[in-house]
Structure 1
């Protein structure tokens, strides 16, 4: 895609978002929107021992008079040890996967670094994943919010509740013998199961939001 692509920065984004990123040369992150619940901004889903498992980053609620806060200004609630919990959940779910140990040392700093803003967490997950996929799209942030953008607009991919799920060929998942194939989990699920082949898988996915 030659036209720059517009995304919401999300937490270990779902496969659909990284399929679009992998097929984009220039990534622009929306930094001026209002934070919305029921999105992947502060959550991701992995394949746990009991099926689809939520990992949620706790955030501090808006304190402005309007009750709204821009995503870029949203604070992480660090009174709760969410990083330790998330990393232990990933270890429990994927320790026996083919590629978890391959990525573990590079992944760990995200769960030990002290963060103030959710935006910084999500940008760091983006940098980890693009490095793991061995892709290097240029990226920037918006300076103002536009309801209708002249960029290739992939912001709807951030919607978690009843959001977009692309058609994909199933790949082997860690507990699929118990619960079957679960589509559009966090990109981590694909990375830990497919390793270097993950990028080829993403490049074959068609993202059609029309």
Structure 2
């Protein structure tokens, strides 16, 4: 394990790469003072549906100002997105080996309501860490951390759903595993952590370690 601090953005059912950073580094900080960035993992995740990779997003309240801090972003409930996400996840993973084993632990995230996106994501992350049986060693930043800060492994601009916006991560090498629709569309790497736990179950933490080798 590296003795550096990993700096991550908040994320909704974050991708596998994100959790690899959590086990790779001795300390993890979540940036809360950044200007909120749209079309990122902060409010979306990619799952494996019948037609391939499927992005599902948490709608947020539009800010009156052009810029809003991540810590102040509120979730919008104008549409019943929780029901849509629940049905989408069920459709994607109901036939996976460990769906029935874990789904009850996740149900509250699609029935209860949170006001702020950051709080919601942190609760999800705590639950996922418990499922993975890894330490939830997160802390929130006290102030905005600039680029190239010393002793900080900054992944805020590395882990991004759009490859053109992300930065190549030479320390992350996703390994193939069996996915529900893999015979149809092939292996899709670095999906939401949901894809991993539903397909690999208790072996998920070992898989994370294998991606760092």
- What TM bracket, shorter-length normalisation? over 0.9
The TM-score normalised by the length of structure 1 is 0.93
Question: Residue by residue, what CA displacement relative to the aligned partner does 1:98-136 show, whole Å, maximum 9, x if unpaired?
Answer: 011111111111111111111111111111110110011
Q: Which moved more, 1:171-180 or 1:144-153?
A: 144-153
**RMSD (CA atoms):** 1.5
Residues 15 and 184 of structure 1 are in contact (CA less than 8 Å); yes or no, is this contact kept in structure 2? yes
User: Which residue in 2 is equivalent to 1:17?
Assistant: 18
Once the 2 structures are TM-superposed, how far is the Cα of residue 45 of structure 1 from its aligned partner?
Answer: 0.4
Residues 33 and 143 of structure 2 are in contact (CA less than 8 Å); yes or no, is this contact kept in structure 1? yes
User: Which residue in 2 is equivalent to 1:172?
Assistant: 178
Once the 2 structures are TM-superposed, how far is the Cα of residue 155 of structure 1 from its aligned partner?
Answer: 1.5
The TM-score normalised by the length of structure 2 is 0.91
Question: Residue by residue, what CA displacement relative to the aligned partner does 1:28-55 show, whole Å, maximum 9, x if unpaired?
Answer: 1101000111210010000001111111
Residues 43 and 56 of structure 1 are in contact (CA less than 8 Å); yes or no, is this contact kept in structure 2? yes
* SS of the residue 1:38 aligns to: coil
* SS of the residue 2:28 aligns to: strand
Structure 2, unaligned stretches of length 5 or more? none
Question: Residue by residue, what CA displacement relative to the aligned partner does 1:48-74 show, whole Å, maximum 9, x if unpaired?
Answer: 01111111100112212xx10011101
Give the distance between the partners of 1:15 and 1:157, measured in 2 at CA. Answer: 13
**Which portions of structure 1, spanning 4 or more consecutive aligned residues, are displaced by more than 6 angstroms?**
none
Residues 25 and 137 of structure 1 are in contact (CA less than 8 Å); yes or no, is this contact kept in structure 2? no
Structure 1, unaligned stretches of length 5 or more? none
Give the distance between the partners of 2:35 and 2:161, measured in 1 at CA. Answer: 16
Give the distance between the partners of 1:88 and 1:28, measured in 2 at CA. Answer: 32
Once the 2 structures are TM-superposed, how far is the Cα of residue 167 of structure 1 from its aligned partner?
Answer: 2.6
Once the 2 structures are TM-superposed, how far is the Cα of residue 22 of structure 1 from its aligned partner?
Answer: 1.9
